[in-house]
Structure 1
Amino acid sequence: MLRSLWSGVNGMQAHQIALDIESNNIANVNTTGFKYSRASFVDMLSQVKLIATAPYKNGLAGQNDFSVGLGVGVDATTKIFSQGNLQNTDVKTDLAIEGDGFFVISPDRGVTRNFTRSGEFLFDAQGSLVTTGGYVVQGWVRDPKDMGSKGSETDLLKIDNTKPLQNIRIDPGMVMPARSSTKISMRANLNAGRHADQTGSIFMLDSSSRTPSDGVKPQYDSSTNLTQVAEDMGSLFNEDGDAFLLNEDQGIWVSYKNATMKRDITATNQNSTVEINGTKISFTNDSAVSKISTLSAAQNAINAVKNKTGVEAYVDNGQLRLENKNNLEGDKHVKNIVVTGAGTGAFSKFVKGDQSITAFRYRYTKGIDADSTTGQFKTTEDLRALMQHDANIVKDPSLKANYKDSTASVAVKINKNGMFEITNKDDGKPQKDNLSIFVTNYTSAKVTKNVLFGKTMGALNTASLIEGGISTSTSKLTHATHASSVDLVDSLGTKHTMRLEFYKAGGAEWRFRVIVPEPGEIIGSSPERPNVFENGVLHFNKDGSLAGMNPPLLQFNPHNGSDSPQRITLNFGSAGAFDGITSVDKISETYAIEQNGYVAGDLMDVRFDNNGTLLGAFSNGKSLALAQVALANFANDAGLQADGGSVFSETSNSGKALIGAANTGRRGGVSGSKLESSNVDLSRSLTNLIVVQRGFQANSKAVTTSDQILNTLLNLKQ
């Protein structure tokens, strides 16, 4: 029988297989994730008539073999796993692999593993992520016990993919539990300029010396329901927001009454001298010649230098009456009446050391607390206590040796408007001692006057502060302020608004208080006001960066049955950096304030990221990684067995599945709301159909030709 006949038959059979394969490719041109196949043609065993020979030494050349092929066959069908195009869809559970890899699926809840490139997934009635064929997608699922109550924000968006694979199942009624706040982060600037854009009245002070003067530990007074804080006077502002900026020794004089002194004058025509307030006064008068009495001459001599001494002389009932209204600015030589040099002649009744002190000098210092002997002050309480002490001594000199607040009838306090207020209370004695208040600037050869401070305190001026009458007060004193609020969340998911109030307490120091709604409590607050923490402090470097703060954390007890106390870290920035709170010459403003707690939330929506992580969006505005799909790759993708339904099985020639997360190893990425199209090239497939058809036709010709030859042989016998 002719070999060509069987070669033609084999050729037709092989091309029929190729036609079947190419037809299958064309049929799956729209199948999601389909990978086209091709037929691998190989020639069949050849019949060797003569073997090939090597060249002979005598010069005869070598000869090729004499063999005849027996046709063609299909050795294998090869799957081509090239990347298909990605198509956007409106389905959030659709997934497409960009690069190498296969989704891991199971028909029996994880016992058997299959693989697919088709990411056309959906959730079934039980919340399992499945293929359209009912296979359950495999991956890693967040432990229901770890639903975000612990860990950082970054941890919430990660899944532990080191655990064994499991069925991806998401409870559609999932609830994210509340997370209690553990940290407050704030970025802000606190104005360090000479003018404050945000100001508030300075803290109230009562007229009791028990008010702390260190400016560190606020004193709560239950009788007045106010928190008393001594503030650095050098850091305060006037009512227009302009800083006093008190320098060392700058200050004021406060006169509580006109200084007076009466003395008899001795008639004489000799030279008379006396020294008052450091100025020497002298005159010679012969009354018989001048027709001016010695008393009038003495008056004229004193009044001639009143611009130096502040003292003016009057004649009352044959006596010389000296008075200093204390209305001149300057140093101690223009205040009060002090005999600094003994008198002679007509002034012989003036004894050195005689004095009438009704005006007191108050000088700012950065170093010490109140000193009644030098009149130095640093804080608002220092100045208040000094003024109250001196006003009472002026009103009742008998108190000088043993002054006590309990015996004081002149009260000096800072009222709710941030003003120093002086009240001349009725002391119950028959005699009514009125006061007259006059404030002037203190100046000297070394100290310039502080106009803003003097003007503010000068509002106290009153000609008559009547005992038992109305009070007098300064203009409003303010401090630079800033405030922000943030909602804290406790373990039950209840929100509590925490307010942070900052106020300037020194050149490079700001203090802050923290207020929470009652019945909430901040551990470390005063027993009288447990919901208000007063002792926060911020220090800044010379460039405005944060130098340090205290305390670094607070403990909050909501008193509502939630887990307590909550430790809340205050993240106001790094020391020496500008990543938190700063203090530069710029308006006070909060750029960002946030905390890391949140309330409970219901699952509202899901989506996949490019790592194959299923993210859940909850009604509390938070996102949580719920699961992550696994990807598998193989040493030989073409060795996988196609089981239909876009499903592949592992074979001995594909190698073991190497399972891991997307974008690791040789595994590609995952795109959500996309599907991978078939990689069938329709133009190529149709072209291949033509080629296969022509090949089949050519082989059929070999059969018909062989048949004709056989007929010719049969006809030879005829």
Structure 2
Amino acid sequence: MSLTASMWTGVSGLRGHGQKMGTIGNNIANVSTVGFKGSRMHFEDFMSQSVSVANGIGQVGRGVAVGAILGDFSQGSLETTNESTDVAITGNGFFTVSPPGEAVTYYTRAGNFRFDKDGYLVDPHGYRVQGWEIGQQQVDQFIGQVNMEQGQQVNIQGVPDDIRLENFQSPPQATNNFGMILNLDSQSQTIDTNPAPGAAEPNLWANWNAVANNPPIGEQQYTYQSTLRVYDDNGGGHNLTVYFQQREPVAGEPAANKYWQYIVTVPPESDLRGIVPAESAGLLFQGEMVFNAAGNFIEMQNMQSLLNPPVAPPGPGAAGPPVFSQNGYPLVYANFLGVDPEDMQPIELNFGIRSGDGAGGAWEPDALNTTSFASPSTTLFQAQDGYTAGFLQNISISREGVLTGRYSNGQVTELYALTLADFNNVWGLRREGGNLFAETRDSGPGLTGIAGSGRLGTIASNALELSNVDLATEFVKMISTQKGFQANSKTITTTDMMLDEVIRMKR
């Protein structure tokens, strides 16, 4: 091997260490870049030249080459922020973004996202963040309880697409069901159920008169009342009040049982049914609760609805038989908007007991139900599923990457789920600049899923992942790289001195 070859061996060392210094410099330059993943350069010997030696053939190295530049995908530390759309991944995975109008997907660990003027969630380049739409959960008619399949956490639909908030308003929803769970004092005052011959039997619903009285029922004509707010299709709110009064048992009824009459009412001015007499305006439903001696709810009886669209419309003042929902609860009909009777929306009435046969028989108490114990009457729980229109107030993102909108009407709606992707070979990803990666044949296709599923990490909202570059480590590498560069330069200068000696031999 000639002296010139030795000089080129030193040159390969200079070139390699210069490139490594460039890698170190890039790491240091991005020490404050959000979501940046550093790189490490690995050297390998370039090649070896065979030379003759006393015992055969030997090899002499001809320098160094860059063997690999591998990304460091270790977790970076998190920085808290004041923006809910700043998100970080703790664990494996990448956010997915796509340029507008292009069928191209990039991957990033930088979660500094914002909504643009068109409602798209975008990164700093304007690339749109990808996610799944979330289907609205099926709401059971029993006071708004949500049914979810066993083990199902996020009800995603379709394929990942641009995350966009097209409507910053939550439309109103009419009340479809309401429930009241109460305790009615068994020792409260009762009404006489055995009046003098010829006198009308006193009852709670006979006390209601929207023409003669204001309010339609007096304070001395009932024992207890409970009110909650219900909503029509236009989002208008109306007070729905249920009045209760205990009565004495009549002949043929078990004397140990407790009997409570009730009426379901709204303000007369809110009642636009139009086919009931004026004195009955606002009186929607009436019935009786029956409790055993221990105060447990056992059945309902004598129920009447003053309007019942599923059957032939009754004449003025007529009372139709109660109609039960598919869950076995009686239905109350109200008309707040003056629509045709057949278009009225029934409201499910739930006191914690249902008809097992859906026809008013075989009553089955729920786990949470109304009681009649010897303690003051009180409302233990009440709920309804309607609400007025509302405007989006803020967005939050859960550990599973679910974007949830909170509206001024109190509604909390799951909108989208961020799409995360992982790769079998993350070191095969290609860096595209701008904190973006692109898949290659070496990386394999992205394996998408919900945060927290499989090997994917979870999402931290109001946080950003910082660069994983460690300055102390980079400075140590810088020193060793500088010394390596300096040593290789000495190889060249020493070889130069040797060549000078060869040239001086001719003198």
TM-score of Structure 1 vs Structure 2, range by shorter chain: 0.7 to 0.9
Alignment of 1:480-519 (within 5 A): 481-505=223-247, 507-518=257-268, 519=270
1:381-424 deviations in Å (ceiling 9; x for gaps):
xxxxxxxxxxxxxxxxxxxxxxxxxxxxxxxxxxx998xxxxxx
Who is 1:184 aligned against? 178
SS in 1 for 2:432: strand
How many pairs align?
449
Q: Does structure 1 conserve the Cα–Cα contact (< 8 Å) formed by 2:133 and 2:158? A: no
TM-score computed with the length of structure 1 as normaliser: 0.56
Q: Does structure 2 conserve the Cα–Cα contact (< 8 Å) formed by 1:525 and 1:534? A: no
Cα distance in 2, alignment partners of residues 64 and 516 from structure 1:
109
Who is 1:556 aligned against? 333
SS in 2 for 1:666: coil
Quick check: 1:573 aligned with 2:352? yes
Quick check: 1:631 aligned with 2:420? yes
- Which residue, 137, 153, 161 being the options, matches 2:156? 161
Q: CA deviation at 1:160?
A: 4.8
Q: CA RMSD in A?
A: 3.7
Cα distance in 2, alignment partners of residues 522 and 181 from structure 1:
17
Cα distance in 1, alignment partners of residues 211 and 10 from structure 2:
115
Alignment of 1:163-312 (within 5 A): 163-171=158-166, 174-192=168-186, 195-196=187-188, 199=189, 202=191, 209=198, 211-212=200-201
- Which residue, 526, 546, 564 being the options, matches 2:297? 546
Q: Does structure 2 conserve the Cα–Cα contact (< 8 Å) formed by 1:523 and 1:555? A: no
SS in 1 for 2:473: helix
Alignment of 1:93-172 (within 5 A): 93-141=85-133, 154=146, 160-171=155-166
Q: Does structure 2 conserve the Cα–Cα contact (< 8 Å) formed by 1:114 and 1:648? A: yes
SS in 1 for 2:405: strand
Q: Does structure 2 conserve the Cα–Cα contact (< 8 Å) formed by 1:96 and 1:670? A: yes
SS in 2 for 1:625: strand
Identity %: 33
Cα distance in 1, alignment partners of residues 44 and 339 from structure 2:
77
SS in 1 for 2:410: coil
Who is 1:48 aligned against? 50
SS in 1 for 2:472: helix
Who is 2:287 aligned against? 536
SS in 2 for 1:512: strand
Cα distance in 2, alignment partners of residues 609 and 141 from structure 1:
15
Who is 2:433 aligned against? 644
Cα distance in 2, alignment partners of residues 219 and 225 from structure 1:
12
Cα distance in 1, alignment partners of residues 471 and 287 from structure 2:
74
Who is 1:255 aligned against? none
Who is 2:271 aligned against? 520
- Which residue, 455, 462, 471 being the options, matches 1:682? 471
Q: CA deviation at 1:111?
A: 1.8
Q: CA deviation at 1:155?
A: 8.3
Provide closer, same or farther for how the CA distance between residues 525 and 666 of structure 1 changes in structure 2, counting only shifts above 3 A: farther
Quick check: 1:582 aligned with 2:333? no
Look at both structures and tell me which one has the larger radius of gyration over its CA atoms.
Answer: 1
Quick check: 1:694 aligned with 2:478? no
Provide closer, same or farther for how the CA distance between residues 38 and 524 of structure 1 changes in structure 2, counting only shifts above 3 A: farther
1:656-698 deviations in Å (ceiling 9; x for gaps):
0122222223222222211110111111111111111111112
1:93-137 deviations in Å (ceiling 9; x for gaps):
211112111111112335211111111111222122111112111
Cα distance in 2, alignment partners of residues 137 and 534 from structure 1:
51
Cα distance in 1, alignment partners of residues 94 and 34 from structure 2:
13
Q: Does structure 1 conserve the Cα–Cα contact (< 8 Å) formed by 2:332 and 2:349? A: no
SS in 2 for 1:97: strand
Stretch deviating more after TM superposition (506-515 or 131-140): 506-515
Specify the code of the residue in structure 2 equivalent to 1:84: G
Q: CA deviation at 1:19?
A: 0.5
Provide closer, same or farther for how the CA distance between residues 110 and 493 of structure 1 changes in structure 2, counting only shifts above 3 A: farther
Cα distance in 2, alignment partners of residues 183 and 205 from structure 1:
36
SS in 1 for 2:158: coil
Specify the code of the residue in structure 2 equivalent to 1:532: L
Cα distance in 2, alignment partners of residues 166 and 496 from structure 1:
40
Q: CA deviation at 1:86?
A: 1.1
Specify the code of the residue in structure 2 equivalent to 1:492: N
SS in 2 for 1:75: strand
Alignment of 1:641-680 (within 5 A): 641-680=430-469
Cα distance in 2, alignment partners of residues 523 and 634 from structure 1:
66
Q: Does structure 1 conserve the Cα–Cα contact (< 8 Å) formed by 2:75 and 2:468? A: yes
Moved over 6 A (4+): 146-151, 155-159, 203-208, 220-226, 521-527
Q: CA deviation at 1:482?
A: 2.4
Provide closer, same or farther for how the CA distance between residues 582 and 618 of structure 1 changes in structure 2, counting only shifts above 3 A: same
Cα distance in 1, alignment partners of residues 491 and 292 from structure 2:
99
Who is 1:8 aligned against? 10
SS in 1 for 2:505: helix
Provide closer, same or farther for how the CA distance between residues 504 and 153 of structure 1 changes in structure 2, counting only shifts above 3 A: closer
Q: Does structure 1 conserve the Cα–Cα contact (< 8 Å) formed by 2:262 and 2:286? A: yes
Q: Does structure 2 conserve the Cα–Cα contact (< 8 Å) formed by 1:524 and 1:533? A: no
Cα distance in 1, alignment partners of residues 145 and 219 from structure 2:
45
Specify the code of the residue in structure 2 equivalent to 1:516: V
Gaps of 5+ in 2: 250-256, 304-328, 354-363
Q: Does structure 1 conserve the Cα–Cα contact (< 8 Å) formed by 2:284 and 2:333? A: no
SS in 2 for 1:8: helix
Q: CA deviation at 1:605?
A: 2.2
Cα distance in 2, alignment partners of residues 700 and 178 from structure 1:
77
1:178-209 deviations in Å (ceiling 9; x for gaps):
111112122322223xx44xx5x737998772
SS in 1 for 2:159: coil
Alignment of 1:415-426 (within 5 A): none
Alignment of 1:347-366 (within 5 A): none
SS in 2 for 1:74: strand
Cα distance in 1, alignment partners of residues 276 and 427 from structure 2:
72
